[in-house]
Structure 1
C-alpha cells in the first residue's frame, strides 16, 4: 500500500520537512518503524522485532527487581549472563547505528527546507549517541564488571546463615618494603543478620595475645593452650605462621584462600566464638585507589590527628571536624602511629570501613563504575562466591539503612595481654543478638 511517507511529493519542501521530522523521531522512539513505513520493510521488521524483545526484557527485569531483587542481582552478576548482556548491548549498538544511518538516507535531507536541515541532522546525531553510544558504552562497562567479578569472586560454596547470621572476616593487609610478607594491620569480624541486615563490626586488636583455637583447627595440636610461643605471639603473626606452614591447610588454594588466611580465620573464630563463613582481604597499599575511585570518604574526626611515625618528624595533621578525605589522606588517617596507640588506630580504621560501607551506594557506584571496578580488582581478595553476590548486595542495602553496632575488643573492656576469652565470647554474643522489640 502506497502512503505519503513512503511516496511523498518530493517537490514540496514543506512535505519533505514534515516527513523528515516524523522519520527521525520514530527512529528514536521505535527503532525499525521508519524502515517499515518508508524503507526496507524486511530491515524494519527485524529492527521492530529486536526493539520489542528489548522492551519485553526491560519490563521483565523491572518486575523481577521489585518482586525478587535478590534473584535479579544474582542473575545479573552471573558470569555467563554478563556475557549475554554484553553481547546483546553490542548487538543493539550496531543495529541502532545501521537503522539511524538508513533513516538519514530515507529522510532525503536535501529536499527539506534549508533552515530545517541542520536541526534534523543534529537530532539524528543526538539520537545516534543516545542509543548506539549508550549501548556501546554499556557493553564496555558490562565487560569491565564481568572481568572484575571473575577476578575477585570465585565459584565456591553458597553458605547458609549460622544462627540467623552471616559472619565475614575482614582483613586489612599491610605488606610493605620494611616487612617480611603481609601482616594483617586491621582485623574485623563483621556479623550480619540474614533477615534485617543489621550489622555488628567486631574490632580485634592485632596485638592480642594467647588466641585460642577451635577443636577442628590444625593449630590446636601445636598450641593447645592458645597461641603462646614464649615470645610475643600476637594474633597478627598467625598469618605469617600459616604461610610458613602450608601443610596445615593443604586445601586452602583450591578453596580460594591461602594458609595464612586460614590461620587467621581459625584465630578470629577462636576469639569471637563465631564461625567465619567468608573472608575479605584488602591490600592497604591499594586501599587509597578504592577510596579515590569512590570520590573520597567523609568522616567525623573527633580530635586533631598528627600524621607520622614515632621517632620521626610528623608530615602533617588532620584537624578535628567533618573531613572529606582522598585515598592518601584516608590511608594516613588509619595508619599514623605518631603519639598514639594501636587501639586508637583501630577506632580510626573502623571509621573508614564504616564510611566506605555507607557511601558505597548504587548511584555512586554507577557514576564511577569503571574506576571502582578496576580498583576493586587490584585491592580485594575474597572467597565469597558469585552465587552470594545477590544475597549480600540485597543485605548491604538493608545495612546502610540502619546504624552499625561497633564492638571494639580493646582495653579497658578487655586485657589484650591476658584476655578472658569466655568473657569476650559473651560480649560478642550480646553484640550480635537481635535487638529487643520496643515496648
Structure 2
C-alpha cells in the first residue's frame, strides 16, 4: 500500500485528475484531467504565439480585462488542485501505509499542495494587483499611430516646492523611439530656453505667436522660460485647455507638450509626468540604481548650500532613491547642463536596469510607488506594443541629443530652425551598407 500511495501522490502532482481516474471518483478525475490538459494546451498555444507574435500576448496581459481573466482562471485552478489533492489523500488511506512512511507521505503531499495551489493563488493575486495598477496609472483612450515611423514621448519631472508657484518641471526631454527597431533618441531640453515657439494650432501659442514671452512678457514670475509654460497654463490659463483633464492630461502638460513640439519639430503622441518628490520611492522599489559618476557631485545639508554632507565620487556607485534624486537634481557647483546630462544618464540607467524580471520580483513596491508618482496618457491598449518595443530598445545604445551650448544652442537666443535640423539629423536612420 505504501508504493500505491506514493504513485497516487506523484500522479496527482504530474497530471491532476489521473489519480481519481485510476483509483477513485472517475467523474471527478475526468473533470480534473480535462482541466489540466486544457491548461497545458493553452500554455503551449500561448507560448507558440509569443514566439511569433509577442505583441499579441503582451497586449492581452497588459490590460485590465486580460489580467482579470487570468486571475479568474488561476483562482479556478488553485481551487481545483486543492480539491483533487485532498481527495487524493483520501484515496491513499494512510492508515494502510507503512507506519514510518505515513508522516512523510502526508508532509510531501501537503508540500506539493502548497507549491501548486500557492503558486496559482499568488498568480491570481498578482494579476488582480497588476490590473489595479494599470487602472490607476494608464488611461483607456485610443491608440495613436507612429508619425514618420516613430513614437515620441514627452518626459517631465518636477515638483511643487514650498518656494514655487505650483508645479514647475525641472527635467524635460523627448524620447523618440523608432517604431520598428526600438532605437531610442533622448532630446534633453534645458528649462531656461527662451522665446519658445509652440506647434501649429496651440492654444497658448495663439497668445504668444512670436514665442513665449518674446513681446510683452508672460504671466508668471521667475522669467519667461520653458519651464514656466507649465505653471502659466496650469494656474493662470486653464481655460485654454478645457478638455485636458477629461483626456487624462492637464493644462500645464498640454501647453508644455505643444512647446516641446514647437522646439523639436516632432509630433508628440504621449507624455509621462513624474513627481520628483516621490521619484526616490520608485528607485527604492526597484532596489536602487547603478550609476557611473563622471565628476564629483555634492550633497548638501541645507537649502543655502553652505555645508556639504558628502560627495558622489567618480566611478560606479549604487544609489538608493534618496541619493539618486540628489545626484539627478544637484546643481550647486555645476551648471544646468551638467544636471541635464546626469538626468539623461539616470534615465538610461533605469531603462537598462528595470528588466522585466526585476520589475516582476519587486512588483508590489514598484506598482505602489508608480501609481503615486507617475501620470501619463499612454493608453492601456498600447502597453503590449511598448513593452515589446522596449525589449528591442534595451539591446541598442540610446542616442542623446542635449540642447546645450556645447551643441551650439544658446538658451537666451536659440535658433529653433537649427535645433530642429540637428534633431532631424540625429533621427535619420543610418544608411544600409552596400554588400
Is TM > 0.5 for Structure 1 vs Structure 2?
Answer: yes
Alpha-carbon contact 1:203-1:350 (below 8 Å) kept:
yes
> Paired residue for 1:230?
217
**2:30 matched to 1:45?**
yes
Determine the C-alpha separation between the residues in 2 that align with 1:436 and 1:204.
Answer: 27
Pairwise CA distance, 1:78: 2.2
Alpha-carbon contact 1:188-1:204 (below 8 Å) kept:
yes
**2:289 matched to 1:297?**
yes
Structure 2 alignment gaps of length 5 or more: none
Pairwise CA distance, 1:362: 1.5
Determine the C-alpha separation between the residues in 1 that align with 2:159 and 2:250.
Answer: 16
**2:259 matched to 1:264?**
no
Determine the C-alpha separation between the residues in 1 that align with 2:169 and 2:360.
Answer: 31
Alpha-carbon contact 1:310-1:338 (below 8 Å) kept:
no
**2:78 matched to 1:93?**
yes
Alpha-carbon contact 2:12-2:88 (below 8 Å) kept:
yes
**2:264 matched to 1:255?**
no
> Paired residue for 2:266?
274
Determine the C-alpha separation between the residues in 2 that align with 1:175 and 1:437.
Answer: 47
> Paired residue for 2:123?
138
> Paired residue for 1:372?
366
Determine the C-alpha separation between the residues in 2 that align with 1:418 and 1:310.
Answer: 30
Give the alignment's TM-score, normalised by structure 1.
0.94
Determine the C-alpha separation between the residues in 2 that align with 1:176 and 1:18.
Answer: 71
SS of the aligned residue for 2:170 comes to strand
> Paired residue for 2:189?
204
> Paired residue for 1:20?
5
> Paired residue for 1:72?
57
**2:415 matched to 1:420?**
yes
Give the alignment's TM-score, normalised by structure 2.
0.95
Alignment of 1:100-139 (within 5 A): 100-139=85-124
Alpha-carbon contact 2:192-2:226 (below 8 Å) kept:
yes
SS of the aligned residue for 1:159 comes to coil
Determine the C-alpha separation between the residues in 1 that align with 2:246 and 2:374.
Answer: 18
Structure 1 alignment gaps of length 5 or more: 1-15
Pairwise CA distance, 1:310: 4.9
Determine the C-alpha separation between the residues in 2 that align with 1:176 and 1:217.
Answer: 28
> Paired residue for 1:284?
276
Structure 1 residues 42-75: Cα deviation after superposition (integer angstroms, max 9, x where no partner): 2111111111111111011101110110111111
Structure 1 residues 97-131: Cα deviation after superposition (integer angstroms, max 9, x where no partner): 11111111211112111222222122212211211
Structure 1 residues 129-188: Cα deviation after superposition (integer angstroms, max 9, x where no partner): 211000000011101100011111111121111011000001112222332221111101
Determine the C-alpha separation between the residues in 1 that align with 2:20 and 2:363.
Answer: 36
Determine the C-alpha separation between the residues in 2 that align with 1:123 and 1:311.
Answer: 63
